[in-house]
Amino acid sequence: MSSKEFNFEVVIIGGGPGGYVCAIRCAQLGLKTAIVEKDQLGGVCLNWGCIPTKALLKSAEIVEYVKKAEDFGVKVGKPSYDLAKMTHRSRDVAKQLNQGVGVLMKKNNIKLFSGEAHFIDSNTIHIDNVGNLTSRYFVVATGASPRQMENYETDGQMIWSHKDAMMQQSIPNSLLVVGSGAIGMEFASFYNALGSRVTVIEYQDNILPTEDLEIAKMAKRHFESKGIKFYPHSTLHKIDKGKKELTAYIVDKKTHEIEAIQVSAALMAIGMVANTKNLKLEEVRVPVDKQKIIVGDFCVTQQSNIYAIGDVNNIAPSLAHKASHEGTMCAEHIAYMMGKISHKPHQMQYSNIPACIYTNPQIASIGITQEMAKKQEIDTLIGVFSAQGNGKSMATSEMSNFVKVIFDKKTNELLGAHMIGPHVSELIQIFSLAKTNELTANEIIATVFAHPTVGEMIHEAVMNAYGRTIHM
Ligand SMILES: Cc1cc2nc3c(=O)[nH]c(=O)nc-3n(C[C@H](O)[C@H](O)[C@H](O)COP(=O)(O)OP(=O)(O)OC[C@H]3O[C@@H](n4cnc5c(N)ncnc54)[C@H](O)[C@@H]3O)c2cc1C
């Protein structure tokens, strides 16, 4: 079949941040494009992930401000919280953005098919309630779903998935969070701010196991000071469901001791599983590893006309901006392969992807941790800077601010940056720009940072790595 005989030049399966961004870029490049979505445009990110959680966490941030108001000379009465209203606002924001993606599809002349798709052959898919569709290229962007814990099916009432955690109408007296990754800790932070007694269990020795150890330890101390209780190196032995409460039996991996605690609800936040089960990938000989689609450069699978982007492929991290960037890259690669553009697109640098956790305080990072540098036997220069030396942190009483930078001693290349503080998810972009553009320490030091800002801590941390700190 020649390209002209196919229904489309590119069909994208899945309308999350990977899929819809890919579709828009394909359309911009003049490719006849369709997108298939079985549920809601915007995927997990806009509907059940990044956005609604941040809407809820904004409420928690306001709660925290109100609690501290008197310290700033502002008198307010005892605050009360309306979780139903917070949830309603969060759903409203998600709905607005989901509708916005629909508008973007129309604006870019992208044909939307509603239904679940699976492969028939490498140029044909079947969409439930629609029929068969042919295309020269396919991009699989079907994302991931929460990992279910054996024996503990989530029920929305007492045992929650992340979806349940953002749909509650009343604040639980106590909450057990199983898993201390970004998702678990964001909900732990949210419910703790609203007054729930929060307990977190983590299988690894440290919470936030992918973060730089020094930052993870600092974060733990901040969370503990707010009343969150942690059980590291522990797992859930079993849960007994009572009428009003759960009894959770927590087993310490090291001592094998079991402790029983009573909680109103438990949130299962033990990771995500790639959505590949129903795609019939065996029909097109696209291999998977632990349910994730194996991809090479430009996210091409073993079938050269089938790409896989975002949470469904086997490249970490599972983050929305990684999915979107892969979407852009693979759209440009398809256009290049079809002769629509003459230059080969850039291959994505996965070591330059920032990651943010929107707890209170926030955590943000890019590149390798100090532990990774040690493991890789890289000779490093480490620089740190804390809030005590930063005027803006003092003025705003944001004393959790801390920045750590890791440079290669031989080349002065920035290898990693790690931050904690109330707004570090905004500040990490400075390191993204620096790292992507391979700025050296000298170039960052030669940059003028506005005063008074928390951003000055970046400047100082870099100078600290070279023995030049001013304010410490
Ligand atoms: C609670 C939570 C908070 C998060 N917070 C953040 C954050 O702050 N920042 C961040 O970067 N990331 C965050 N993430 C992760 C982020 O949501 C994902 O990395 C991102 O959504 C992945 O995008 P994607 O396009 O690969 O897949 P998804 O967003 O999962 O979209 C996949 C889409 O494909 C559709 N689909 C699946 N199978 C089929 C099929 N066979 N046919 C048709 N359609 C199909 C699905 O319905 C879905 O709409 C969070 C995740 C969760 C759960």
The string of DSSP letters for 180-211 reads -SHHHHHHHHHHHHTT-EEEEE-SSSSSSTTS
DSSP secondary structure letter of residue 140:
E
Fold annotation for 159-270: FAD/NAD(P)-binding domain (3.50.50)
- Do 373 and 380 contact (CB within 8 A), yes or no? yes
Distance CA 271, CA 258 (A): 24
Q: Which SS3 state, helix, strand or coil, does residue 174 take?
A: strand
Ligand 1 atom having least distance to the Cα of 317: 19
- How far, in Å, is the centroid of ligand 1 from the Cα of 48? 8
Question: What stretch(es) of the chain map to CATH 3.50.50.60?
Answer: 3-145+273-337, 159-270
Tell me which of 3.40.640.10, 3.50.50.60, 3.40.50.2000, 3.40.140.10 is the CATH number of domain 3-145+273-337.
3.50.50.60
**Cβ neighbours for 278, distance < 8 A, ≥ 6 positions apart:** 116, 118
Of 126, 222, 451, 459, which one is the catalytic site residue?
Answer: 451
Q: How far is the CA of 4 from the centre of ligand 1 (A)?
A: 32
Q: Rounded to the nearest whole angstrom, what is the distance from the C-alpha of residue 39 to the centroid of ligand 1?
A: 11
Q: Looking at ligand 1, which residue's alpha carbon is closest to its atom 35?
A: 14
Å from CA of 49 to ligand 1 middle: 7
Helical packing angle, 50-68 and 182-193, nearest 10°: 40
Site residues for ligand 1, CB cut-off 6 Å: 13-19, 36-39, 43-45, 49-50, 53, 116-117, 141-144, 162, 183, 275, 278-279, 310-312, 318-321, 323
Measured CA to CA, the distance from residue 193 to residue 67 in angstroms comes to 10
Q: Which atom of ligand 1 is nearest to the CA of 36?
A: 43
Give the mutation target among 21, 25, 45 for probing the ligand 1 site: most ligand atoms within 8 A of CB: 45
pTM for this model (two decimals):
0.97
Among protein residues, the one with the nearest Cα to ligand 1's atom 1 is 49
Whether 423 is catalytic is no
Which class is 361-465 in CATH?
Answer: alpha beta
Q: Where in the chain is the domain with CATH 3.30.390.30?
A: 361-465
pLDDT in tens, the chain (472 residues): 565 689 999 999 999 999 999 999 999 999 999 999 999 999 999 999 999 999 999 999 999 999 999 999 999 988 899 999 999 999 999 999 999 999 999 999 999 999 999 999 999 999 999 999 999 999 999 999 999 887 788 899 999 999 999 999 999 999 999 999 999 999 999 999 999 999 999 999 999 999 999 999 999 999 999 999 999 999 999 999 999 999 999 999 999 999 999 999 999 999 999 999 999 999 999 999 999 999 999 999 999 999 999 999 999 999 999 999 999 999 999 999 999 999 999 999 999 999 999 999 999 999 999 999 999 999 999 999 999 999 999 999 999 999 999 999 999 999 999 999 999 999 999 999 999 999 999 999 999 999 999 999 999 999 999 999 999 9
From CA 439, how far away is CA 446, in angstroms rounded? Answer: 11
Ligand 1 atom closest to 14 (CA): 34
Could you tell me the distance, in angstroms and rounded to a whole number, from the CA of residue 45 to the centre of ligand 1?
Answer: 5
